Amino acid sequence: MTTTDNNTLFWGLGLSDIECKKIESSAPGYSVRNFSAGALPTDEEMEGEAPFLIWIPVRAWITMDDDFKSAILEWDPAQKVLLADAKDVLDVERLLDLGFLSVLRSPLATDKVQETLYRAREVHALYEDIVRMTREIALEREILSRKTDYLMFLNEFMARASESLNPATILTQARRDLCSLFAVSAVQGIFWQETGEEFVESEIFLTFQEDASIQEQWVEMLLESASRLSGVKVNSYQMTYLMDAEAKTDSTLEPAAGRVIMLPLKAGGKEFGTLALLTPAPVRLTKQQRDVLHSAVNHLGLALKNALLFREVKIKADHDGLTRIYNRQFFDKRIIEEMRRSQRYGQDISMMMFDLDHFKNINDTYGHQAGDLVLKEIGSLLMESLRTTDFAARYGGEEFAVILPHTGEEQAWLLAERLRYKVEKLRFRHDGKAFTVTTSIGVASLSASSFSRNPDLIKAADRALYLAKASGRNMVCTSDGCDEYMEELQEQKAGS
């Protein structure tokens, strides 16, 4: 490519030496690169240079092939001037329409060259203004398009965040949606609840980690964030894994420097959580991306707070406040659902009803706080001992009920016996006094071939409980008796 400034470069296509000298002398500061009619510029030369004006005599123009003529006429921003002899017969209007700036007839005078150069400068300035305006319009359109995309993103993000009242579902969907803003490998979170004491209880939502050490790093980072933002110590936390099939679970989830974006979550002007975004590589967000991210996270915070409050209210409505297991109202709904499910799929179902023996004596002897302590411990024991498919509820007072889907009478009796034994081994202490409790348990079952209405199962379990209490308490009975399976259990113990 030539080193000549393109704004001071002319091209000549088939000019004579006299014409070249006349043009250069009439336009001080400009130089002419002249190509002979037999050696016209190549495509590479046309791509490498952008002459300000191209001077073409008619005698050379008529010898050029149509393709080259078209290429020259369509070449912007170079302007073309046609030089004609006095005898040439030309349709000037047509030539101007084709793209020539001007048609000059010989003799080639200085004032004609300078006037043409002046017009060329005006046209060039106008061309540059149009190009600049076009670029500005294109830039504005791009900015507007980007803003529109961001607004659409926020609209869709907010809509999807509000679709669920499950915090885990909201976080999983948020990771997928944020990927349209920038690449996000995982979304982790911690939420805390003030207790009125000098500590908070928290819940951590974590993408499943194959590497335990990586999980520990995330837990430590999130707990530190909770302590810093809440201003108090995190006394305890529970873990919930996010089941996001699209998120990675390998070592790339390590919270490496530069790849973690920590964002506080607020509701009502108070922090209640932290969102931790993990990116595949260190990322630098644009100002617009940062603004959009903060707007999205602000709405996400409200959605998550609503979900947490809904869950808390639902737990209070469905759970017993003292024992933290389900209450009688929810049990009545659940037993109907489980009975229908068992009947539909032809599966056995069992139920345990048990009562703490002489519970009134505990309240009278050690006080109601001691009684509450016992009920709490029994609730915890049930949650620890039962399968995830089983359903335990406080039926009323010191009575508890357990629904056992997919379970026959013998299996239910064995489970009840294990629970009875565990309760018997519990040791309680209140105000320096130690005591124990026992329980009587009634078991009832329905096989797939003998279904009846759900009240019959409850009545059968209640009759079995009455039989256990009438037979001396601290035992497990079915509606048919209290020792039907005891001999088999003793044989199993003897064999072991």
pLDDT at 249: 53
pLDDT at 450: 67
Residues 327 and 394 sit within 8 Å (Cβ to Cβ): yes
> 481: which strand partners?
478
Mean pLDDT of 332-336: 92
Does pLDDT of 392 surpass 50? yes
CA–CA–CA angle 249, 262, 314 (5° rounding): 75
Provide φ and ψ at 195, rounded to 5°.
-110, -5
Confidence of residue 30 (pLDDT cuts 50, 70, 90): very high
Burial annotation 421-455 (CB, 10 A radius, 16+ → b, else e): eebeeeeeebeeeeeebebbbbbbbbeeeebeebe
Q: Name the one residue in this structure whose structure tokens are 């260190």.
A: 282
Candidate from 163-167, 221-225, 245-249, 463-467 with smallest mean pLDDT: 245-249
User: What is the arrangement of strands in the sheet containing 270-278, beginning at the earlier edge strand?
Assistant: 233-242, 199-207, 186-194, 270-278, 260-267
Query: Treating both helix axes as pointing N-terminal to C-terminal, what angle do 328-345 and 287-318 enclose, rounded to 10 degrees?
Result: 90
Confidence of residue 34 (pLDDT cuts 50, 70, 90): very high
Residues 58 and 84 sit within 8 Å (Cβ to Cβ): yes
Mean pLDDT of 225-234: 89
Tell me if residue 52 falls in helix, strand or coil.
coil
Does pLDDT of 495 surpass 60? no
pLDDT at 357: 96
More confident residue, 133 or 449: 133
pLDDT at 485: 61
Does pLDDT of 493 surpass 60? no
Residues 70 and 78 sit within 8 Å (Cβ to Cβ): no
Q: Beta strands 53-57 and 79-84: pairing type?
A: parallel
Residue 84: which of 108, 53, 111 has the closest Cα? 108
Residues 327 and 314 sit within 8 Å (Cβ to Cβ): no
Provide φ and ψ at 52, rounded to 5°.
-70, -40
Mean pLDDT of 209-217: 85
* pLDDT tens, position by position, 86-133: 888 889 899 998 989 999 999 989 999 999 999 988 988 888 888 888
Six-digit token string for 396? 């009323």
Mean pLDDT of 412-418: 94
Confidence of residue 376 (pLDDT cuts 50, 70, 90): very high
Does pLDDT of 6 surpass 80? no
**Domains of the chain and any CATH numbers:** 8-129 (3.40.50.2300), 164-248+257-314 (3.30.450.40), 328-495 (3.30.70.270)
* pLDDT tens, position by position, 433-442: 999 999 999 9
pLDDT at 3: 36
Residue 224: which of 210, 208, 211, 237 has the closest Cα? 237
Six-digit token string for 457? 């199962």
Burial annotation 248-267 (CB, 10 A radius, 16+ → b, else e): eeeeebebeeebbbbbebbb
Six-digit token string for 153? 């993103």
pLDDT at 254: 86
> Tell me, what amino acid is at 185?
S
Please report, in angstroms and rounded to a whole number, the separation of the first and last CA atoms in the chain: 95
Residue 479: which of 350, 339, 392, 393 has the closest Cα? 350
Six-digit token string for 472? 């001396």
pLDDT at 487: 58
Query: Treating both helix axes as pointing N-terminal to C-terminal, what angle do 287-318 and 167-178 enclose, rounded to 10 degrees?
Result: 160
Mean pLDDT of 63-67: 91
User: What is the average pLDDT value for the chain, to the nearest integer?
Assistant: 88
pLDDT at 5: 46
Residues 347 and 406 sit within 8 Å (Cβ to Cβ): yes
Residues 437 and 362 sit within 8 Å (Cβ to Cβ): yes
pLDDT at 443: 96
Mean pLDDT of 316-321: 86
Six-digit token string for 228? 């810093």
Does pLDDT of 168 surpass 70? yes
Does pLDDT of 343 surpass 90? no
Q: Could you give the residue numbers annotated as active site?
A: 398
Question: What is the distance of C-alpha 490 from the center of its chain?
Answer: 55
pLDDT at 332: 92
Confidence of residue 297 (pLDDT cuts 50, 70, 90): very high
Does pLDDT of 494 surpass 60? no
* pLDDT tens, position by position, 352-369: 999 999 999 999 999 999
